[in-house]
Amino acid sequence: MTKLNSSFMIGDVEIPHRTVLAPMAGITNSAFRTIAKEFGAGLVVMEMISDKGIQYNNEKTLHMLHIDDGEHPVSIQLFGSDGDSLARAAEFIQENTKADLVDINMGCPVNKVVKNEAGAMWLKDPEKIYSVVKTVKSVLDIPLTVKMRTGWADASLAVENALAAESAGVAALAMHGRTRQQMYTGTCDHETLATVAKAITKVPFIANGDIRTVQDAKFMIEKVGADAVMVGRGARSNPYIFTQINHFFETGKMLPDLPFEKMLDIAEDHLTRLTDLKGETIAVREFRGLAPHYLRGTSGAAKIRGAVSRAETVAEVQELFAQLR
């Protein structure tokens, strides 16, 4: 493939690589974002934040807004059902956090989010998309972006929704190649993503969905026509994928996968950072759900996964990991 310039711009913010860590609830806190950044993610996006949580000074929500100095550029993603409420939350972020960008979630398919008229519910009405983007953008000096899906039940409004966001003033648009109805089943709709990529001409188009290898990222750039790739679940078990994709985009050469022992090192580092961020009790509890992603594909891992899911302390997890070395 043609070698790419490493960086691209979102508004006036330079993104040093064409790789973006997708927002993932319960995963993309500061502990994991710093890991992804160190492995080369050009932009990292915070797990989605409730606009109402910010307005009501919810302690848990405000704690989630922590940004480490090593994360920049970093984006905070908001979800909500009302333009004015989202605008107030965006203004708070701009004035009280270190965020470089604000993103509006228009793709979350989870029931508790869409029942509140947020997330993927926005996909039903391009005029509402235009209105909310215009409203939120009016209070911001930092760039505003949107992440959406191809549609609610089908992709018939994908281009219209994307153009509504672009014409209202987003600085970049990310799209996941599934409808809300698909949730996380089936496969990424590359055809619709390619159609949207052609339609979006004023701002970067970031493609998301089923990017688990360098070849998947290459396809998104070469065939779909994306300006950058957003990696979610593919990075959850292998943040090294950012190093691999960046290296390929910049040199045309493939880097080998990391050996399993190196993946264990990353997992332990993740637990350490999570402990520093949230304290041992919460960190170990959360890590129980993260560990299986790191422990795939090696003999004896199934038994260890089960034991990690019952661990109470960092020392217990470390002892279990030592059995795999």
3 state DSSP class of 244: helix
Token duo for residue 26: 């319960």
Question: In the annotation, is 108 catalytic?
Answer: yes
The H or E element that residue 251 is part of is: helix 241-251
At 294, give phi and psi (nearest 5°): -80, -25
DSSP state string for 189-243: -HHHHHHHHHH--SS-EEEESS--SHHHHHHIIIII--SEEEESHHHHS-TTHHH
b/e map of 142-152 (b: 16 or more CB within 10 Å)? bbbbbbbbbbb
Rounded Cα distance between 54 and 256, Å, is 43
Rounded Cα distance between 145 and 165, Å, is 9
Question: Which amino acid would we find at residue 303?
Answer: K
DSSP state string for 200-214: --SS-EEEESS--SH
Angle between helices 301-308 and 314-322 (to 10 degrees): 170
Token duo for residue 198: 């052609």
Closest among 163, 191, 189, 185 to 176, alpha carbons compared = 189
| Cis, peptide link before residue 73, omega less than 30° from 0 | yes
State how far Cα 80 lies from the chain centre: 17
Find all residues with CB under 8 Å of 112, minimum gap 6, and list them.
none
> Which one of the listed residues 108, 120, 146, 245 is annotated catalytic?
108
Burial class for 96, CB neighbours closer than 10 Å (0-12, 13-18, 19+): exposed
**Which residues have a catalytic role annotated?**
108
